[in-house]
Chains A and B, each alone.
Chain A
C-alpha cells in the first residue's frame, strides 16, 4: 500500500473551513484514499473515502487531485468538537483490510 505524508499539526478558527492536506504520490490506480479521525481517548472514526472523484458527506468533503497524488479533507465549518488527529490512509482494493495509519495531523480548532 502507498504511504502518505501529512503535516503533524494545523490550527483552525472555529466556524472557518479546515483544509487538511495529504500527499500520496506513490498511490496506484486501484488504491482508495480514506480519512479517519481520532478524538482524544477514543478509537478512530471513519470520515470519508474516495478513488478519483471528489466526495462529500455530512461530515466532510474530499478533494482528490487529477493525478491522484494528493488530496485534501475539508471540514466546512470547524467546531471545537472537530479537534482531533486526522489520518489519511491509502488502501489497496485487493488488500482492503489492511490500513496503514501513519502519524496523522493534529487539528486544533480554536475559539
Chain B
C-alpha cells in the first residue's frame, strides 16, 4: 500500500528558532502534496498545496514567509516553520496525492504527523 512518512514525529524547540519537517512518499510519486494543521480535538485545516518544481499555494490566512514549503522532488516536500513561537505549537500533517490515481479518485495518503511544541 501507499505509505507516507514524516520526520521528525515530535520536536520541541525554543521560541525564535526554525524547524524543518519532512514529508516523503515512500512507494509512489507525488507531484502534489498538502500540509495540514490539526489542533487538539479539531479537524484538519489545509495550510498549503505543495507542487513539485513550483511555488506552493497557501490558503487564506496562512503566512507564506513563516511556513516555507519546498517540494524539491516527486517524493519529498518540506515545511519549515521559521521563527517559531508558542502559538505555532500544533500537530502538522502532510498528505501526498498519488500520481497513479490522477482522475480516478485522486486519493491522498497521509503521513503520521509531527507534533511541534515551541517553548
Are A and B a genuine interacting pair, yes or no? Answer: no
Chain B residues within 8 Å of A, Cβ to Cβ: none
